[in-house]
Amino acid sequence: MNFTSYPISFNRNQILGLIIATGSFNSHLVMAEEKKSYTNPPFAMFASQMSDSLIGSGKYEKPIWNLHDALKLPDWLSVSLEQRSRYEMMSGNYKANGKGGDQQIALQTDVFMEARFQQFRLGGEFLDARQWGADSGSTLNNTHSNQADLLQAYLAWSEQNIFQSGVGAEVIAGRQTLNFGSRRLVARNVFRNTINSFDGLRLRLTDYDNWQLNAFVTLPINRYPIKPSATTDAALDTFNNTLQFDQADGHTWFSGAFLEGFNLVGKLNAELYLYHLDEGDSPKVATANRRYFTPGVRFYLKPAKGEFDFQVETIGQFGTAKLSTTSNTTVSHTAWYQHLEAGYSVEMPWNPRLSVEYDYASGDKNPNDNKDQRFDTLYGARRFEYGPTGIYGAFARTNLNTPGYRVKVSPFSTVEAGLAHRFFWLAQSKDSWGSTGLHDTTGRSGDFVGHQIELSARWNVNSSLNFETGWTHLFKGEFAKKAPSAPAGINAHDVDYFYVQSLLRF
C-alpha cells in the first residue's frame, strides 16, 4: 500500500505523539498478556497439569521452571517431573486396640512423558511413592507406598470437530487415571501417597460449553504388596518399601458412563452417571465379590465472588456382596449417600468463602439380617471433605452422619488458608466406624464419634514450588471412647495430626 497517495500529513509533534501512543498501546497489550490468570494448581501429580486435547489449552499455568524449555524439546514432546515430600505425625490413636501415635516421611516422585503426532498422543507416567521413618507399630498399607511403578501408559486419539458436527471426540486406550465430577466415587488421588489407575478404554464426547460424556470399561490395577505371603506380610513389605510391580488380574471389571450438562438454567450445572463394579477373586487377591450398580445425580453452582453457590449430590447403590473376603455367604446390598452444601463468597479483602455442609452415608442397620447396607465409595477421594488421609484418615464415606462448616480465605494471591469443623455420628449405631475396627453390634456405645477441627494453609511461591501445612484435632465422642477394643488408658485421649509438605514441579 502506498501511503503517499493519501492526502494526509503529520508534523513532528504529531509523529512523536503517535509513536508514544502506539508504544503505550503495545505495552498495555503485553501487560494484559502477563496478567493472564490461572486456576491455582492442586497438590496433585501430573494429570492435573496436562493440557486438554479438545479444548486446546491448559487449565494451569506452565511451571516457571520446566524441563521442556530447559532441554529445548520440540513442541510435540512433553517431559515433566514432580517431587513431593511430606512429614506427618500423629499423637494418640482412634483404631481398635490402638496404642501410641505414629509418624512418617512420605515421598512421591512422578515423571510424565507425552508425544503428540497430529491427532494421536502416546503417553506414559511413572510414579515412585514410598515412606521412611514410620514407627515400628505402624499399620502401613499400599496407600502409603507403591515403589517404582507404571501409573499410566496409553495411546490416545482426539478430534476437536468430528464430522464437522461441532462435537469433540477423544479415545484413550491403555493404562490411565480417572477423575470424574465431584470425585466422591472416581478420583485421581491428591493427598494420598499412591494413586488409583486402570487398564482399559475410555471414550469422551463433548459439545464444549453445553455437555460432555465420558464412558469407560476398565480393569482396576492392584497395588502390590497387597496380601501376606509365606515369609512376610503386606505391612512389613510396605514398611521396607518392597518392590512388586502392579498389574490388573483380569477378575475385576469397573465400567460406567458420566454425563455432564453445563449452564442448563443460568449457571446451573448437572451430572448424571452410572457405575458398575464386578469384582472377582484371583490367586493374589481375595475380594468380597462386590457386584454393584451405582447411579447418581449432582446439581451445582460454582463459587463466584459476591454470589451464593450450592451443591446437591444423591447416590444410590444396589447389588450383592459377600459378608467378608473370607466368607462364602453372599448377601444383597442396598445403600445410599447424600451430600448437601451451600456457600457464599464475600466480595471483600481476603476473598472469604463461607459454607455449610452435610453428608449422610448409609450403614448396616442389623448385623444379623444377611443384608448389607453400608455405602461403598468405590474409587473416590475423601481428603477434601473429611480431613487429611496419610497416616490419619479417620473418616470414610460409609456409615456416616456428619454436618459441618468451612471458612476459606486468601489474604494474598499466593496464599490460601482454611478452617473446617465437622461433627460425626454413625448412621447406624450397630455398624462399625469406617475401617477403624471399632464395632458394637449391640449399639450400647452410642453413635456419637466426636468432632474434628482442621486448620490448613498453603503458599504458592511460584508456578513450580509450593508449601502446605495443616493441623487436625479429633475430639473423641462417646462411641470412640466406649466401643469394644477402643484405645484405653493413656491411649484414650484425643488425637492430633500435623503435616508439612513441599511440592516441586519442573
Q: Residue 66: inside a domain, yes or no? A: no
Helix (H) or strand (E) holding 199: strand 198-206
- Flag whether 284 is in a domain: yes
Predicted confidence band of residue 249 (pLDDT cuts 50, 70, 90): confident
Q: How many domains does the chain have?
A: 1
Whether 71 is in a domain gets the answer no
Lookup result for grid cell 509365606: 230
43 residue type, one letter: F
Model confidence at 24: pLDDT above 90: no
Q: Is residue 326 part of a domain?
A: yes
Asked if the structure places residue 59 within a domain, the reply is: no
Residue from 480, 396, 407 nearest 445 by CA: 480
Residue 72, domain member (yes or no): no
Q: Which residue has the cell 521396607?
A: 240
- Tell me the average pLDDT across 240-260: 86
pLDDT of residue 230: 35
Three-state DSSP class for residue 482: helix
Full residue range of the structural domain in which residue 319 is found: 82-505
Report pLDDT digits (tens) over 418-477: 999 999 999 999 999 999 999 999 999 999 999 999 999 999 998 889 999 999 999 999
Whether the pLDDT of residue 327 is over 90: the answer is no
CATH number for 130: 2.40.160.100
CA distance 91 to 335: 34
Q: For residue 37, is it within any domain?
A: no
Q: Which of these, 425, 426, 453, 430, lies nearest to 440 by C-alpha position?
A: 430
Return all residues near 176 (Cβ < 8 A) that are at least 6 apart: 152, 154, 197, 198, 200, 202
The pairs formed by 422-425 with CB atoms below 8 angstroms and a separation of 24 or more are: 422/357, 422/386, 422/387, 422/451, 422/452, 423/450, 423/451, 424/395, 424/400, 424/448, 424/449, 424/450, 424/451, 424/452, 424/477, 425/400, 425/401, 425/449
- The upper half-sphere exposure of residue 332, i.e. CA atoms within 13 Å in the direction of its Cβ, equals 4
Q: What percent of the chain has pLDDT over 70?
A: 85
- The H or E element containing residue 33 is helix 12-34
pLDDT tens by residue, 383-419: 999 999 999 999 999 999 999 999 999 999 899 999 9
What pLDDT shows up at residue 61?
A: 65
Helix (H, G, I), strand (E, B) or coil at 365: coil
Q: Structure pTM? A: 0.88
Asked if residue 393 is part of any domain, the answer here is yes
